[in-house]
Structures are given as C-alpha cells and as structure tokens.
C-alpha cells in the first residue's frame, strides 16, 4: 500500500455540541440506528431485508442523507461521519422521520471499508463535498486518490455507481482525471434518487460564492 492510504483525511475537532445532539450522543449505543462494527457486517442482518444498500461517506449535518433515505424507502443506507455533532443531528432526524432504512456510524471510512465490508456489497457509494484540503501541502490528505477509488471499486457491485460532488474546482478536476483514467468506471447521467435532492449547506455556500458545483456520477463496469 502506498503512504497516501495511511494519511487521515480528517482532523478531529471539538466543535460545539447542542443539548439535543448531546442527548442522542449519550444514548447512541442503545440506539438501533447507530452501530459500531466489530466484525464483517452482514447487510441482511443489519436491515432485515435484501434491499440494495448505498454507503454515504461524510454526511455532515445529515439533512441530505436522511431526506434521501426518507424518500427512497426501497433502498437501505449506511452513513459514516467522524464528527459527533453530525451523528447527534442525524440520529434525531432518523427518530423524527421514523426511518428504518438508515444506519449510521462514526467510524473512519477507510477503516470501515478495509476491515468490515465484504467485496461487492454496495449498490453505490456517495461522497458529497469531501474536505478539499485547499492548501497544496495538504493535498495528500484528500480522501479521494487513485488507491482509494480502487478500494471503492472492490466494494461496489457490478453496474453500481459512485457519486462525488464538490465545489472545489482543482479537486473536482483531479477526481475527473482519476475516474476517467480508470477503465472500470464509466461516466453516466445522475442516479434517479439524487435528481431532486436538497442542497447541502456546503453546496449553498459554494453557490453563494459563485463556485461551480462539480457533480459526478460514474458506473462500475
């Protein structure tokens, strides 16, 4: 493995936690929508059905993911977020919408995929506005690189998809290069479940700043 695989793409920060977030975080271990994997996950046991499953990496405040899960009940969703405020937010949203098709964890995505996910598990994997690490000396911390994409390929079923959205132009252009260079990916039109999605807070901010939203969807051949 190359060194870039071992460099964390995030830095844990102790941000502000609201009382509501704190309540759901305090009770997360007894919440059946939260899980901490200790062995290879069995998606059928996790959701008690055989619906196709989509993994969302870094769901932020959770509003987009919970909204998509609420609309698309014939799909299962796993959301990963390392920041506690996001976990607290989405557990509240899951309870409010009574969602049974969305499970979340605060495990790092790279560790999760390497240690706990069988190959050919997911119908799709999405990353909305991954940290762009804008300073050149920090590019090595960007989660999306050639080896990371190869790892995702192993976990996505044939004819499944990968979806990546960013408003950081040089990051987006590099991601396009990586996807186009890999002959196992084929660019396609957007997946139907995302065509009328709500905007994330990062997307709204990017639009207000005049940034181009780079919205990519590729099929796994």
Catalytic residues: 131
Report how far residue 212's alpha carbon sits from residue 169's, in angstroms, rounded to the nearest whole number. Answer: 7
C-alpha neighbours within 13 Å on the C-beta side of residue 132: 16
118 phi, psi to nearest 5 deg: -70, 155
The answer to whether residues 121 and 159 touch, using CB atoms and an 8 Å cutoff, is no
CA dihedral 12, 14, 16, 18 (to 10 degrees): 80
């Amino acid at each position: 493995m190359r060194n870039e695989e071992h460099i964390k793409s995030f830095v844990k920060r102790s941000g502000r936690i609201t009382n509501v977030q704190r309540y759901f975080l305090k009770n997360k271990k007894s919440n059946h929508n939260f899980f901490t994997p200790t062995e290879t996950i069995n998606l059928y046991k996790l959701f008690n059905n055989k619906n196709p499953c989509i993994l969302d990496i870094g769901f932020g405040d959770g509003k987009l993911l919970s909204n998509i899960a609420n609309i698309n009940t014939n799909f299962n969703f796993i959301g990963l977020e390392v920041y506690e405020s996001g976990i607290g937010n989405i557990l509240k949203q899951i309870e409010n919408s009574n969602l049974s098709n969305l499970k979340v964890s605060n495990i790092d995505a790279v560790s999760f995929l390497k240690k706990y996910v069988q190959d050919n598990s997911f119908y799709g994997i999405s990353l909305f506005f991954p940290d762009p690490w804008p300073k050149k000396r920090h590019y090595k911390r960007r989660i999306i690189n050639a080896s990371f994409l190869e790892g995702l390929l192993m976990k996505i079923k044939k004819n499944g998809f990968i979806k990546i959205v960013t408003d950081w132009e040089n990051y987006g252009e590099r991601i396009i290069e990586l996807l186009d260079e890999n002959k196992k990916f084929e660019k396609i039109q957007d997946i139907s479940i995302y065509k009328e999605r709500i905007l994330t807070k990062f997307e709204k901010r990017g639009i207000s700043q005049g940034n181009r939203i780079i919205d990519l969807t590729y099929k796994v051949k």
